[in-house]
Structure formats: C-alpha cells, structure tokens
Amino acid sequence: MPETPSIPLTRHTVSAARMGRIREAVRHADTLPGADGGSRAARVTDAEALTDFLLDPAIHAPIYSLPRPLDLRTVTAFIQAHLAEQDRGEGLLFVSFFDDGRVAGYSDIQVWPHWATGELGGALHPERQSRGQGLAGAARSFDWMFQTLGLERICETAAMDNVRTAKLLDALGFERMGEVVSRRADGSPRPSRVWEIDRAAWRHGAAERRRRVGGTQDR
C-alpha cells in the first residue's frame, strides 16, 4: 500500500468528473509560462543538462524531493518517474534553458487530483536569482496551476531554515498551516513548515499581489 502523504493538510474530496478533468489537464500540459520564454516539459534527453544544474549544492541542498545521490542515472530516473506521473495525471516536470543550452531552472509539480490540490517545487539558477524573478515567477506558476490545471488549493512546504521561500509564500498571501516531517528520497526526515492557499483566497489577493510583483496578471 502506498504511503499516505503528509500533505496537503486540508483535504476535500472532489467529484469524479472534476478529478478526471484535472488528470486530463495534467496529461496535456507541455509548457509553463515564464518571463524568459517559459519552461517546457522535461524529456529524458535533458538528463545530462539537468544533472549539471542540480549538482550545485546551493541549488539542491534545500530540496527534499530530489534523488540522492545526484548523478546522471538518478536524474534520468527522476525524469522518467515524472513522465509516468504525467501519464497518470498526477505530476509534471518542466525545465527552462539559457541560450547556451544550460538549464536555467526547473519546476516540479505534484498533483493530488482527488483533492484538487497541487504543490510546486523547483529552483532557479543563481544567475536568475535576486532579480525579482522569484516572486513574479512563482505567482505566474500558481496562476497557471489554478487556471490551467483547475486546482482548488495549492499546498507548499519549506525547510525550517528556508527564509527565502518563507518570505515568498508569505508575500503571495499563503496561510501558514503548521509543520510536518517531509521525507527525502533516501528516507531521511526533514522538518518542514506548511503553507496553503485556496482558489478564492488567491483571487481575493490579486490586486495586492500585482502590487508586490509588478504586474502579474490574474484572471
């Protein structure tokens, strides 16, 4: 029997019809909008470039969902697992690139269709950090998850000492819900804070969010 996930903390089962629509939206998603041309769905042929990107400790250290150890074999399996998740309508992996072919960032989306809930993870290359892109990019991705995937709620976690992510989620109007113990790929525990926001609260905060991120569009 699969392990029950520790998140989301809020769980409201949706109708079979809505669950089916969410799964179909995930299966057909191939791009994620972004300021620098956006991201596309990861392919197995991206494994070498993604491995090079993830080997930077500044990138992989805070992220519990990445494989361990990080090498070409495990990253290839990581991509293949996400392709299988997308086929089931339960997950997505997107990558973006610099003009020279290096990975500029990735987005890892977990979806629980029966609860109409999703989680967004990922990282940006240091060259794209501290340029105001993190907040605007996250807001754009959350917009897309609500609008394109049809989710009702987004749940996020961050390590207890991850100040950057905590500030980002607070600034976007997420509500702090408590703490859980997340599990890394090797089974080791990681205490995490949990944030959630539902569709109504996201819409209600649209004006304030636009002010904070400088023009993110909400519908």
For residue 71, being part of any structural domain is answered with yes
Domain holding 65: CATH number? Answer: 3.40.630.30
pTM: 0.90
Query: How far apart are alpha carbons 154 and 59 in whole angstroms?
Result: 23
**Domains in the chain: how many in total?**
1
For residue 88, being part of any structural domain is answered with yes
* Structural domain for 113, as ranges: 16-154
Instruction: Choose among 143, 153, 148: nearest CA to 198.
Output: 153
Query: Is 219 in a helix, a strand, or coil?
Result: coil
At 99, is the pLDDT very low, low, confident or very high (cuts 50, 70, 90)? very high
Instruction: Choose among 105, 124, 216, 219: nearest CA to 164.
Output: 124
Q: Is the pLDDT of residue 101 over 90?
A: yes
Amino acid at 117: T
Angle ∠(57,60,64) on CA atoms, nearest 5: 140
Is the preceding peptide bond at 8 cis, omega within 30 degrees of 0?
yes
For residue 58, being part of any structural domain is answered with yes
Query: What percent of the chain stands above pLDDT 70?
Result: 93
For residue 215, being part of any structural domain is answered with no
Tokens 């150890």 — which residue? 69
Instruction: Give Cα 11 distance to the centre of its chain.
Output: 19
Residue 6: per-residue pLDDT: 86
> Average pLDDT, whole number, for the chain?
90
